Amino acid sequence: MPEAISFPEKEEKILKFWKKNKIFEKSIEQRSENNPASFYDGPPFVTGVPHYGHLLGSIAKDIIPRYLAMKGKRVRRVWGWDCHGLPIENKVEQKLGLKDRRDIEKIGLLKFINECKDYVSQTSAEWNWYIDRIGRWVDMDNAYKTMDLTYMESVIWVFKKLYDQDLIYKGMRISLFCPRCSTPISNFEIAMDNSYQDREDTAVTLKFKIINQEFLNKYKLKKPCYLLAWTTTPWSCVSVMGLAVGEGFNYQIIETDEECYLIAKNAVEKTMTDLEYKIIGDLTGKEIAGLSYEHLFDYYNSQFTGFKTYSTSYVSQEEGTGIVTINGAFGDVDMDSSKKYNLPIIVNVDEEGKFTPEVKVCPGIYVKDAQKLIIDDLKERNLLFKEEKIIHSYPFCYRCETPLIYRAQDSWFISIEKLRQKLLDKNQDVHWVPKHFKEGRFSEGIKTAPDWCISRTRYWATAMPVWECQQCENREVFGSIADIEKRSGQKVKDLHRPFIDEIVFKCLKCDNEMKRVKEVLDCWLDSGSMPYAERHYPFENKEDFEKSFPADYISEYTGQVRAWFYVLHVLGVALFDSNCFKNVVVSGVIMGTDGRKMSKSFHNYPDPKGVLEKYGGDALRLYLMGSPTMSGQDMNISEEGIKEQVKKINLIYWNCYNYFKTFADFNAFDFKKELITSVDNLLDLWILSRANRFLKDFASYMDNYHIPESVRLVPEFLDDLSRWYIRRSRDRLRAGDKKALSTLYRVLILFTKTAAPLIPFLTEEIYKSLSDDKESVHLEDWPEFLEKLINSDLEEKMAIVRSISTQALAERAKMGIKIRQPLSELKIKDERIRHDQDFLNLIKEEVNVKEVIFDDNLKEELWLNPEIDKKLKQEGLLRELIRNIQQMRKLADLKPGDKITIGYSASEDDELAIEKDRPVILKETFAKSLEAVAKNSSGFDCQKEMDFDKGKLWLGIKKV
């Protein structure tokens, strides 16, 4: 085999063959429409070029559909692009030099929307190159886009269906909010790529002056007494409407020289550090509930005067003072408490994260910037007890990396609470790989998920199909373009803003104007609607959709467990009372070579394009699919690991094929006419057993979506084939033994078909050379294993033979005796193959010994006799001579059938030894003549000098 074989070059030729002959299309069309297998592909954003994460996902999405297609399934595979949402808006803002929403509104919504359309219409051609080079079959020419009118119509149908089921409501809820993007962010968007970062922040302990005179008198408090409350968001203290204490906690009144404080007993020591104090009272949480206090700011005193403490169950003693603030506008639990105790919810932060005008200490200032002004003001008025720095995990916007805030907003939600139990129940019908995700991250996420905020106060997205009367608040929701047109009498050309905003009509109740609400839909509703919207269901393709739902298979990385997998599941259960997918494979995250996130600035990953051009798509497929990441674990990328696949799989597979082809051609073996299926040779029987077991196990793993386990079978089998079967069958294969050649052919064809979904390029190359049954190996049916050929006893005994041989060869190495030097005997203890002469003969051949003797009295497992007599030495010299001539044939680039003449120059004694073995030398080296000549004689194609028995031996060979 040529050393410089280029697998990437072969792959490029195969790609041309596939495209020219439409092999992908034929692989779908040849299967019955009545036997479909469905696969959902989460659409990537139209931004940038693919990275290893995309390639990992795409390869996983290719292997299973290829496998299912070979098993007779019709597997439709259509690419999709995620076109909406912040990722696209941010790219367009950067292009136009826009900083925030005000800049967008300055240039005009129409211009901005048109720019977004232009951006997503210019999808990178590089995606096609990468997808082709990894060997993925998918229809990119007819890709759907979430911005397509038909797609968006199905999305509004989803909204209307959920609304009609009373699963969508509008209300004031706490959501993560991005001040820069001016929109709420879903909790799962942040969890998806772990958008939490460790961040240094300021925590403060605030002083709320107790004004309850009865309490002050009871404990004879002459000094001012303060409730000490701890918070990590000092800016939010402006609108605190209550304080929460732990109902089961113990509290103490602490007296210092100037003031008194009320805090949890467990917090006294850490809070009063460096202060002299004494304890003057003990109370319970219930006893201090209802205490009145003076607000830190008087901005809202006219609206509310009952500032009090409330006994709750959620206050922690692990950090802080055992007293926390209640601010219904900026916290989930706070809002619940505010509603429970009828406290006002004051939203004094606008959609840019800036304080509204009534906050006189910092009006119009971004909350994080305003924090210092607020703290300085509190210090000046002696209302700050302590300021400290803390490190905590904080959420950032997944697109613009701005720190998020929790903020109350009037938004639209899908009620997860109403669906929660059904979501958990339907998850039981899903097969998860790895299985721990089922009851772990996915189920736990469902159990704690808040209601899904599906509205966004942005622009580039599917418009929310809701119109409200400007006078009487009458509301109408539409689920199709036809319904909107019928109600309004106007043509709907686009479901994007500002076009859809132009459609107005009269209210049926009060005759005033009805306008569409300002919100657009979360782009995750787009991607979650993919099973329906991609087919424009229910307006078209109803039968096709019903055949394909739920999906047989989906696959994405761990970040999608609480993102795309979650939204698919929510919508599937809500709309059809069904899980949306039957089988799901979760992959891990690919990190840089140094364990950090892959980044161009870190130079910590090999360029994906360079890797594909250097090693090929098959190598990358093998590396990624057999890696820990396909078991849901994270891993560091390794170029050496990719290179290793070429060495241990591609090259070995190619060498096995090449060895067969060489000697089949040399012996004019016609495998169509001369193929023999009945075999009796031990090695033939063994490799057929191993091949059928390999097929059986590979299919079993694939049927259960255990991709890495199936991949790991490949090098094990190729090792058996190349290093044992072919090596131990060389003489038979070279001699043209038709049973040996037939067996090797059958095994190569079986392996080629089995590995085709995993190694699509190289299997195609080899299949085209070995078979013309089909135009492509990928048009073949999946091979059936033959149980009758699987012989466990034979495999077990062969494993014993190989183990004994390996140990004996290790002993040879310790003794420094070359393998070509025969030895007289090997003694072994293992009785399991004592009476199997064929197995013993294999050990003799492999270890190069004359006898294998069983000895129960051995102290070790085996013993090798190192003594070499004259006869053994002569035989060893012969083998060494033949090996050197064979190497010279390779150096001269001779083919196996090429005849040669051999010239040699040696001492008189060595010449006698060589002439004695002349017949063997001529036969083994395909030589016509062997002649003694003068050293360094001319006219030879290759020559060399080597050590022999009595001195130096000069050799020369020439092709006849």
SS (H, E, C) 560-618: HCCCHHHHHHHHHHHHHCCCCECEEEEECCEECCCCCCCCCCCCCCCCHHHHHHHHCHH
The enclosing H or E element of 668 equals: none
Over residues 234-257, the mean pLDDT reads 92
Pick from 329, 297, 580, 572: which is nearest to 430 by CA? 580
The pLDDT, as a whole number, for residue 124 is 66
Predicted confidence band at 958 (pLDDT cuts at 50, 70, 90)?
A: very high
Predicted confidence band at 193 (pLDDT cuts at 50, 70, 90)?
A: low
pLDDT above 70 covers what percent of the chain? 98
279 C-beta neighbours (distance < 10 Å), count: 12
- Which architecture, in CATH terms, is 795-868? 2-Layer Sandwich (3.30)
Q: What are phi and psi of 538, to 5 degrees?
A: -95, 15
Residue 660 contacts residue 722 (beta carbons within 8 Å): no
Pick from 438, 441, 422, 424: which is nearest to 705 by CA? 438
The pLDDT, as a whole number, for residue 903 is 92
Predicted confidence band at 123 (pLDDT cuts at 50, 70, 90)?
A: low
Residue 610: is it exposed, middle or buried by C-beta count within 10 angstroms (0-12/13-18/19+)? exposed
pLDDT tens by residue, 542-583: 999 999 999 999 999 988 888 899 999 999 999 999 999 999
Over residues 881-886, the mean pLDDT reads 92
List 251's β-bridge partners, or say none: 264, 283
The pLDDT, as a whole number, for residue 247 is 86
pLDDT above 90 covers what percent of the chain? 65
Q: Which fold has domain 198-395?
A: Isoleucyl-tRNA Synthetase; domain 2 (3.90.740)
- The yes-or-no verdict on residue 638 having pLDDT over 50 is yes
Over residues 89-117, the mean pLDDT reads 90
**Residue 35 DSSP SS3:** coil
**Helices H, strands E: what count in the chain?**
37, 33
Predicted confidence band at 172 (pLDDT cuts at 50, 70, 90)?
A: confident
Q: How far is CA 939 from CA 773, 884, 896, 921, 942, in A?
A: 48, 19, 21, 21, 9
Residue 248 contacts residue 406 (beta carbons within 8 Å): no
Four-CA torsion 390, 396, 401, 406, nearest 10 degrees: -110
The enclosing H or E element of 536 equals: none
- The yes-or-no verdict on residue 2 having pLDDT over 70 is no
Residue 162: is it exposed, middle or buried by C-beta count within 10 angstroms (0-12/13-18/19+)? buried
Q: What is the residue-wise DSSP string for 129-164?
A: HHHHHTT---EEEEEEETTSHHHHHHHHHHHHHHHH
Q: How far apart are CA 405 and CA 423, in angstroms?
A: 29
Q: How far apart are CA 709 and CA 872, in angstroms?
A: 46
766 C-beta neighbours (distance < 10 Å), count: 25
The pLDDT, as a whole number, for residue 1 is 37
Query: Which residues 6+ apart lie within 8 Å of 918 measured at CB?
Result: 930
**Residue 295 DSSP SS3:** coil
Q: How far apart are CA 796 and CA 791, in angstroms?
A: 9
List 666's β-bridge partners, or say none: none
Ordered strands of the 505-506 beta sheet? 475-477, 466-469, 513-516, 505-506
Q: How far apart are CA 847 and CA 436, in angstroms?
A: 47
Predicted confidence band at 673 (pLDDT cuts at 50, 70, 90)?
A: confident
Predicted confidence band at 192 (pLDDT cuts at 50, 70, 90)?
A: low
- Tokens, residue 226: 């303060």
- The yes-or-no verdict on residue 190 having pLDDT over 90 is no
Q: How far apart are CA 852 and CA 808, in angstroms?
A: 11
Q: What are phi and psi of 173, to 5 degrees?
A: -140, 160
Pick from 173, 463, 178, 488: which is nearest to 338 by CA? 173
Q: Which residues are catalytic, by number?
A: 43, 82, 524, 560, 564, 597, 600
pLDDT tens by residue, 486-523: 999 999 999 999 999 999 999 999 999 999 999 999 98
Residue 498: asked if its preceding bond is cis (omega within 30°), the reply is yes
pLDDT tens by residue, 529-542: 999 999 999 999 99
The pLDDT, as a whole number, for residue 194 is 61
Task: Give the range with max mean pLDDT: 327-331, 370-374, 578-582.
Answer: 578-582
Q: How far apart are CA 481 and CA 463, in angstroms?
A: 12
837 C-beta neighbours (distance < 10 Å), count: 11
Over residues 303-319, the mean pLDDT reads 85
- Which architecture, in CATH terms, is 625-790? Orthogonal Bundle (1.10)
The pLDDT, as a whole number, for residue 596 is 80
Residue 571 contacts residue 529 (beta carbons within 8 Å): yes
Q: How far apart are CA 953 and CA 884, in angstroms?
A: 11
- Which architecture, in CATH terms, is 7-161+531-624? 3-Layer(aba) Sandwich (3.40)
* Residues 351-358: contacts with CB under 8 Å, at least 24 apart: 351/101, 351/179, 351/182, 351/457, 352/100, 352/101, 352/102, 352/179, 352/182, 353/177, 353/179, 353/180, 353/405, 354/179, 355/238, 358/299
**Residue 441 DSSP SS3:** helix
Q: How far apart are CA 313 and CA 718, in angstroms?
A: 63
pLDDT tens by residue, 574-629: 999 999 999 999 999 998 888 888 776 677 888 899 999 999 999 999 999 999 99
- Tokens, residue 388: 């400290």
The pLDDT, as a whole number, for residue 100 is 82
pLDDT tens by residue, 44-60: 877 777 888 889 999 99
The pLDDT, as a whole number, for residue 601 is 66
Predicted confidence band at 12 (pLDDT cuts at 50, 70, 90)?
A: very high
Mean pLDDT, the chain, integer: 91
Q: How far apart are CA 934 and CA 771, in angstroms?
A: 50
- The residue among 18 and 52 whose pLDDT is bigger is 18
Q: How far is CA 412 from CA 119, 167, 395, 409, in A?
A: 28, 10, 22, 9
- Tokens, residue 712: 């790991």
Angle at 471 between CA 467 and CA 477, to 5 degrees: 15
Predicted confidence band at 666 (pLDDT cuts at 50, 70, 90)?
A: confident
pLDDT tens by residue, 133-161: 999 999 999 999 999 999 999 999 999 99
Residue 836 contacts residue 797 (beta carbons within 8 Å): yes
Q: How far apart are CA 667 and CA 204, in angstroms?
A: 88
Over residues 803-817, the mean pLDDT reads 93
Q: Beta strands 250-255 and 278-284: pairing type?
A: antiparallel
- The yes-or-no verdict on residue 260 having pLDDT over 90 is yes
Q: How far apart are CA 927 and CA 607, in angstroms?
A: 50
**Which of 184-193, 286-295, 479-488, 792-801 shows the lowest mean pLDDT across its residues?**
184-193
Q: How far is CA 246 from CA 134, 287, 311, in A?
A: 59, 11, 6
Residue 214: is it exposed, middle or buried by C-beta count within 10 angstroms (0-12/13-18/19+)? exposed
- The yes-or-no verdict on residue 130 having pLDDT over 50 is yes
Pick from 414, 441, 473: which is nearest to 158 by CA? 414
- The yes-or-no verdict on residue 436 having pLDDT over 50 is yes
Q: How far apart are CA 561 and CA 265, in angstroms?
A: 42
The pLDDT, as a whole number, for residue 857 is 84
Residue 393 contacts residue 196 (beta carbons within 8 Å): yes
- The yes-or-no verdict on residue 686 having pLDDT over 60 is yes
Describe the chain by its helix, strand, coil percentages, rounded to 5: 45, 20, 35
Q: How far apart are CA 477 and CA 468, in angstroms?
A: 9
Q: Beta strands 78-81 and 139-145: pairing type?
A: parallel
The enclosing H or E element of 854 equals: strand 849-854
Residue 827 contacts residue 858 (beta carbons within 8 Å): yes
